[in-house]
Homo-oligomer: A and B are copies of this chain.
């Protein structure tokens, strides 16, 4: 089996993403590139998936931003997560028959569309990719859990600070932020829906951070002036950071085709 260096085909965010978890073989890379062949564009504020909708396709976000969100019958809305290039949309909604959440674009986007059949083929024929996919699902769940901690136990100021640090870190990884500058294609209403606050209070809170000299805002361009202090305020957990960046262990463990010489320490906890 020939292994090529981890990395990305220039136009395949899915390869970039899974490739950051494990070194892809040529066969695996070809399979992924083929998956992403059918590309379509969608405008901003377009629903890629609607809560309650029965769905028949899997989509990969190739370019642009989107949010995953759930709504209460009376209209209150909570954003579950931000969807960035390389993220898969609706992979699970399938199995649920009916989507329990919506996915809506924030900017104009490019999505690759493929069938559930092709996904099944992946599970049957590419166990390493299946494991990588499971991993990326786990990573996403870790982010949702962290947001749950925010909504449950962080104050408004802490939540906003935490989100800004999180975004800075996530975007830095994919080269979308440099030296503290990045663009959030997001209204304050969307921040409010993401952090479980009202628009007004988001505004107040951003002002506090501005007046404290921690950030600057020009339209959608955000400049982080003092990351360390922001991270401190938001009680940003470096463990969590660890998660949202690349793992070392996947390759060594599950992803290996042959039984790897496993070095698990059989230590009992406490």
A contact set with B: CB distance below 8 Å? 46-57, 70, 72-74, 76-78, 80, 91-92, 94-98, 100-101, 115-117, 119-121, 123-124, 127, 130-131, 133-135, 137-138, 140-142, 144-149, 151-154, 193, 195-196, 235, 237, 239-240, 242-243, 247-250, 253-254, 256-257, 259-260, 262, 264-267, 269-270
Are B145 and A144 interface neighbours, CB within 8 A?
A: yes
With A94-B253, A145-B100 given, is the CB distance from A57 to B264 under 8 Å?
Answer: yes
Are B47 and A269 interface neighbours, CB within 8 A?
A: yes
With A120-B259, A239-B51 given, is the CB distance from A247 to B144 under 8 Å?
Answer: no
Q: Name the B residues within 8 Å of A270 (CB-CB).
A: 46-47, 50
Q: Which of A94, A119, A148, A247 has the largest count of B CB atoms less than 10 A from its CB?
A: A148
With A123-B127, A153-B77, A247-B96 given, is the CB distance from A144 to B146 under 8 Å?
Answer: no
Are A141 and B92 interface neighbours, CB within 8 A?
A: yes
Are A95 and B254 interface neighbours, CB within 8 A?
A: yes
Beta-carbon nearest neighbor of A195 in chain B: B152
Q: Name the B residues within 8 Å of A151 (CB-CB).
A: 148, 151-152, 196
A127 to B127, CA, bound (A): 7
A265 to B113, CA, bound (A): 13
Q: Name the B residues within 8 Å of A51 (CB-CB).
A: 239
With A135-B92, A148-B151 given, is the CB distance from A262 to B117 under 8 Å?
Answer: yes
Are A144 and B153 interface neighbours, CB within 8 A?
A: no
A89 to B137, CA, bound (A): 16
- A-B contacts, 19 of them at CB < 8 A, read A55-B269, A72-B149, A72-B153, A76-B154, A92-B141, A94-B249, A95-B249, A96-B243, A100-B237, A117-B259, A117-B264, A120-B256, A123-B254, A124-B127, A124-B257, A127-B127, A127-B130, A141-B144, A147-B148
With A73-B235, A142-B100, A254-B119 given, is the CB distance from A80 to B134 under 8 Å?
Answer: no
Are B196 and A152 interface neighbours, CB within 8 A?
A: yes
Contact partner of A247 (CB less than 8 A), chosen from B97, B119, B145, B257, is: B97
Beta-carbon nearest neighbor of A270 in chain B: B47
A11 to B134, CA, bound (A): 27
Closest 5 CB pairs of A and B: A152-B196, A92-B138, A56-B264, A78-B152, A151-B151
A232 to B92, CA, bound (A): 27
Q: Name the B residues within 8 Å of A141 (CB-CB).
A: 92, 137, 140-141, 144
Q: Name the B residues within 8 Å of A269 (CB-CB).
A: 47-50, 53, 55
A116 to chain B: closest CB distance in Å? 5
